[in-house]
Amino acid sequence: MSKPSETIYYDDMPSPIGVLRLVADRHGLREVRFAEPRHPRPTPADWVRASEPLAFARVQLEEYFAGERVAFDLPLHPLGTPFQLSVWRELARIPYAATASYGDIAKRIDNPAAVRAVGSANGQNPIPIIVPCHRVIGSNGSLTGFGGGLPTKQFLLALEQRIAGRDLFTASASAK
């Protein structure tokens, strides 16, 4: 007797960088797909379009784009190899509005010779923005490839720099 497959939910949300396809299962968010990715993949026919299972991610992404959220607090369920998962965990530790190089990430996972492998894992990150692969740049400070395209990467980095430049203490004090 075969085990029934797990239901995968998806929904689309508008954003300042185009439509994002959110994908989740009962464990958490599995993917954020760009409308026009560098490497398009079709949506499997057995996935279920439903907004409610993805509301948790939609709200936090909307807050991020509005400049009201600098850290995500979502259940995540990316699928990858143990090495990819270790890279993605390290990506999630890059602070808001900061950047790191592929070499920095390789050192942080105690594998300094794995710069190219880190680059590959970064490129395979299924949850961009939330797992902030856009914050990874070349060792010379240049912008490098991004699944949503370099203009999207530039937009995300500029958004974070602009928000981080605000005096958050003044903003929170005036909200009281």
Please, are residues 11 and 51 in contact by the beta-carbon 8 Å criterion? yes
Given this model, what pLDDT does residue 175 score?
A: 39
Q: Which domains are delineated in the chain?
A: 9-65 (no CATH), 82-164 (1.10.10.10)
Residue among 133, 136, 156, 159 flagged as catalytic: 133
For 67, counting Cβ atoms within 10 Å of its Cβ (0-12 exposed, 13-18 middle, 19+ buried), the class is middle
What three-state secondary structure class fits 123?
helix
Q: Residues of 70-84 as b/e, b for ≥16 C-beta within 10 angstroms?
A: eebeeebbbeeeeeb
Q: At what angle are helices 82-91 and 115-123 packed, to 10 degrees?
A: 80
The one-digit pLDDT tens for each residue of the chain (176 residues) are: 445 578 999 999 999 999 999 999 999 999 999 986 566 678 889 999 999 999 999 999 999 999 999 999 999 999 999 999 999 999 999 999 999 999 999 999 999 999 999 999 999 999 999 999 999 998 888 888 888 889 999 999 999 999 988 544 434 333 33
H or E stretch including 171?
Answer: helix 168-174
133 is catalytic: yes
Across the strands, what pairs with 33?
21
The pTM assigned to this predicted structure is 0.86
